[in-house]
A = this chain, B = another copy of it.
């Protein structure tokens, strides 16, 4: 017989994050969470309206660690810091990245960050539409960088990642050398990005440089 009040939303979310971290997002089922608490699946429905609500709570919990960049920063550094902050939060629990992206506007810090970015973009000549687009790109790109990190294979269980990587590499290396010399040479780098920090820094650099190019174009007009 289980004690009452053994369940509460915060505890459930914590367990859910642990499951997602170890086995991927698809492994997060209502029944599995319930099992780990030694409780009936339906017990969770007292604390969450449905699975969607649980997923939203997971996203919100991960977003909670989001930090605001220093308010004194100019456009370029602010965008860079905002992206870095977002990515850092997602990297802590990579498989939750899609949930974080979906939940960010429901979170106070997420909204404050968005507002601050929109403010800086407006100050630099971006129209409302352009600003909205840039903020949207930033969130989406942060998510894909994390979800699609080569070598991380977020959708696959950690135990099987090595195998999946090896298979992918073998496929690329089986291509004819005369037709795909660059692809074969780049194969290891495409399957595993090597240094994660470099991978993210490079991605952020490209995005920030792109936004600044747009800013210059607007300033010239």
Residues of chain A whose beta carbon lies under 8 Å from any beta carbon of chain B: 105-106, 111, 114-115, 118-119, 122, 128-137, 140-141, 143-145, 148, 150, 171-172, 175, 179-183, 185-186, 189-190, 193-194, 198-199, 202-203, 205-214
Contact = CB atoms under 8 A, between A and B. Distances in A.
A105 B141 contact: no
B211 A206 contact: yes
Contacts of A213: 205-206, 209-210, 212-213
B133 A189 contact: yes
> Which label, helix, strand, loop or mixed, suits the secondary structure of the A interface?
helix
Indicate how many identical chains form the complex. 2
A186 B127 CA distance: 9
Given A189-B128, A207-B210, A213-B206, A183 B114 contact: yes
Contact of A206 (B129, B180, B198, B207): B207
A141 B145 CA distance: 9
A141 B193 CA distance: 17
Contact of A199 (B133, B182, B185): B133
Contacts of A115: 179-183
A186 B137 contact: no
A133 B179 contact: no
A194 B129 contact: yes
Contacts of A145: 137, 140
A181 B133 CA distance: 17
